[in-house]
Structure 1
Amino acid sequence: MRSSIVEPLNTQRFIMDSDDRKRNKNIGKNFMCRLQCMFTHPSGSESRLSLEDTQQWSQSLERLLESKYGLATFRTFLKSEYSDENIEFWLTCEDYKKIKSSFRMSSKAKKIYEQFIKAESPKEINIDYHTREQIKRNIKTPTMHCFDDAQKIVYGLMERDSYPRFLRSDIYRTLLENLAADATKG
């Protein structure tokens, strides 16, 4: 588990001057450009990031994760908070469910356990002891559902904790502001 450092409340930290706003706009524009470049193919067939799509991310975590841009933005936000293990685990489980070969499933289940579930693992997720022990038993004869309980717990944590913070974050708000400004320009 990661420990958080409590820093003293500094009121000046919350006051933005015009230089800070300009800096944030530039950061937002740079991030927006990086997002566009990540998903735009030379043929130009891919859809571009739009204000409407970005606004829809605030409807639900599910809506956010369904969007390739939303997922990339949310992952960036979680990395900035040093809490990206939850989304990484959730995505890994989604990929795991697509495995058809029992040999590959067994191998992948063990890797997931070692990386995310086992106590003191590199990307240990926050789940209860009972769920952890159930998974430990399940991976001896893995099925596509052996991580479902942990995945539901992690999704719930993201939905209740990380997602609301994401919606209030500078990265999301600045992205919305930049897209709105671009939309008014035409």
Structure 2
Amino acid sequence: MQAREQLRASKQRRKADRIVLECQEQAYWLTNKPCPGAFDVLDLGPERCNVLSSRVALNADHYKREIEHSRRALGRNRVKSSICLESFMKYSEQYLHHDPIMSGCLPSNPWISDDTSHWTINTDMVGTPTRLRVERWSFSFMELLNDSMGRREFMIYLEKEFSAENLCFWVACEDLRHGESSKIILKVEEVYKNFLAPGAARWVNIDSRTMERTLEGIKRPHRFIMDDAQMHIYFLMKKDSYPRYLKSELYKNMLAKAIVPQETKKSVFPFMRRQRHSSPSPAMVTQATEDDGKAKGAGPTGTSSTTNSQI
């Protein structure tokens, strides 16, 4: 009853009074916010950390750490909004022709024209890819690796340069990260045996510090144990092999042979097309039959009455 009366009273208040009360309530909670390490009911629950077990001791060392953290935050470099907007504009212009909403699909949108050629020519593995697909590989290294066909072409190039083990190691780490949990230990052993062990068949070049961290983590294997080594090899390929691949004849020939689909003919209003294999409702057929019968019956009667009146 009390909550109902409070709700009714709040609705009867003026708008200015409601705004003042909301500001007062916000100020109250900002002022009475629990200090770090204090007991807070909102932090308790099945999905929240228990404050009782991680209570912070409010002493001089704690406040020194807070001051040092705030000092580092003030000196941290931040990107200006104008630079962020400029980067966003460059990204939008770069991906403009690759956005099916902004530039449309070639040869046509399968959801409108019922022509599935767009899906067929853009499957994971095709004989000849489209030009837009090959151009997208040059946007970033991840665009190349995320495309299965681009990854295959990059592997062919690395095999010619005798450095295919780097990409094989990256693929094995991705399989470890996203694979089945029951096979993690087995996959960690395979990755170590094939790429990291002394005298491995596809030994990869990793710095000593990263190797030490990886070997220490292998003692307690999990799916993210190869992240440091994988990141090291990723940047190695990105800075060295990837730029040379974009300048190679292999990529230039692939770009020259890429197909450019021709746009199919569209109707003026494709969204107003008639449905195929459609049949009228039985009620409409019955109504149309009755209307035709009335029209035929009224025709001779009207003619005879007119003739009698003239006679």
TM over 0.5: yes
**Which of 132, 144, 157 is the aligned partner of 1:64?**
144
Contact 2:130 2:261 (8 Å CA) reproduced = no
Contact 2:137 2:144 (8 Å CA) reproduced = yes
Amino acid at match of 2:244: R
Distance 1:46 1:142, change over 3 A: farther
1:36 maps to none
Is 1:145 the counterpart of 2:262? The answer is no
Q: Deviations over 1:48-97 (max 9, x none)?
A: 51001101101111001111211111011111111100100000000001
Amino acid at match of 2:215: K
Q: For residues 183 and 100 of structure 1, what CA distance do their matches in structure 2 show?
A: 40
Contact 1:106 1:141 (8 Å CA) reproduced = no
Unaligned runs of 5+ in 2: 1-118, 264-311
Question: By how many angstroms is 1:99 displaced?
Answer: 3.0
Mean Cα displacement is larger for which, 87-96 or 114-123? 114-123
Q: For residues 45 and 57 of structure 1, what CA distance do their matches in structure 2 show?
A: 19
**Which of 98, 106, 109 is the aligned partner of 2:185?**
106
Is 1:162 the counterpart of 2:241? The answer is yes
Amino acid at match of 1:58: S
2:158 maps to 78
Amino acid at match of 2:135: Q
Contact 2:196 2:204 (8 Å CA) reproduced = yes
Distance 1:53 1:160, change over 3 A: same
| CA-atom RMSD in angstroms | 2.0
Question: By how many angstroms is 1:160 displaced?
Answer: 0.1
Q: Deviations over 1:137-175 (max 9, x none)?
A: 211210111100000000000000000010011110011
Distance 1:80 1:50, change over 3 A: same
Of the two, which has the highest radius of gyration?
2
Amino acid at match of 1:183: V
1:176 maps to 255
2:28 maps to none
Unaligned runs of 5+ in 1: 1-43
Say how many residue pairs are matched. 140
Is 1:115 the counterpart of 2:194? The answer is yes
Contact 2:188 2:218 (8 Å CA) reproduced = yes
Structure showing greater relative contact order (alpha-carbon pairs closer than 8 Å, 6 or more residues apart): 1
Contact 1:61 1:159 (8 Å CA) reproduced = yes
Q: For residues 233 and 242 of structure 2, what CA distance do their matches in structure 1 show?
A: 12
Q: For residues 201 and 218 of structure 2, what CA distance do their matches in structure 1 show?
A: 19
Q: How does 1:4-153 map to 2 (within 5 A)?
A: 45=120, 47=122, 48=126, 49-102=129-182, 104-153=183-232
Distance 1:165 1:101, change over 3 A: same
Contact 1:118 1:132 (8 Å CA) reproduced = no
Q: For residues 183 and 139 of structure 1, what CA distance do their matches in structure 2 show?
A: 48
Q: Deviations over 1:2-41 (max 9, x none)?
A: xxxxxxxxxxxxxxxxxxxxxxxxxxxxxxxxxxxxxxxx
1:15 maps to none
Distance 1:121 1:50, change over 3 A: same
> Which structure's residues are more often helix, by fraction?
1
